[in-house]
Structure 1
Amino acid sequence: MATDAGRPQAARTHPDPWHAATSGRTVMAAVLMIFGGAMAFFEGVAALASDDLFVMTRHYVFEFSLTGWGWVHLILGIVLVAAGCAVLFSGALWARYLGITVAGLGAFANFLWLPYYPLWALVLIAVNIVVIWALCTGAHHEADMT
Structure 2
Amino acid sequence: MTHQSDTEHPVRQGVAAGTSIAAGVVLATVGVLSVLQGISAVIADQIYVVGVEYLYRFDTTVWGWTHTVLGLLLFICSIGLMTGTLWGRIGALVVTALSIIANFLSLPYYPAWSMLIIGLNIVVIWAVATWRPALD
Query: Which amino acid in the other structure matches residue 118 of structure 1?
Result: P
Say if 2:76 is the partner of 1:95: no
More helix by share: 2
Give the CA deviation at 1:40: 0.9
When the two chains are superposed, the root-mean-square deviation of aligned CA atoms in Å is: 1.6
Q: Does 1:48 align with 2:3?
A: no
2:21 pairs with 1:27: yes
Preserved contact between residue 17 and residue 127 of structure 2 (Cα < 8 Å):
no
**Aligned partner (choices 114, 121, 133) of residue 121 of structure 1:** 114
Supply the distance in 2 between the matched residues of 1:59 and 1:118 (Cα, whole angstroms). 13
Equivalent residue for 1:76?
70
Gaps of at least 5 residues in structure 1 are 1-21
Helix, strand or coil at the partner of 1:76: helix
Q: Does 1:66 align with 2:60?
A: yes
Which stretches in structure 2 are left out of the alignment for 5+ residues? 1-15
| Identity, % of aligned positions | 36
What TM-score does the superposition give when structure 2 sets the normalisation length? 0.83
Corresponding residue SS for 2:29: helix
Aligned length: 121
Q: Which residue of the partner structure matches residue 112 of structure 1?
A: 105
Greater than 4 Å deviation, 4+ residue runs? none
What SS does the corresponding residue of 2:22 show, helix, strand or coil?
Answer: helix
TM-score, length basis structure 1: 0.77
Larger Rg: 1
Give per-residue Cα distances to partners, 1:115-143, cap 9 Å, x unaligned. Answer: 1011111110011110000000011xx44
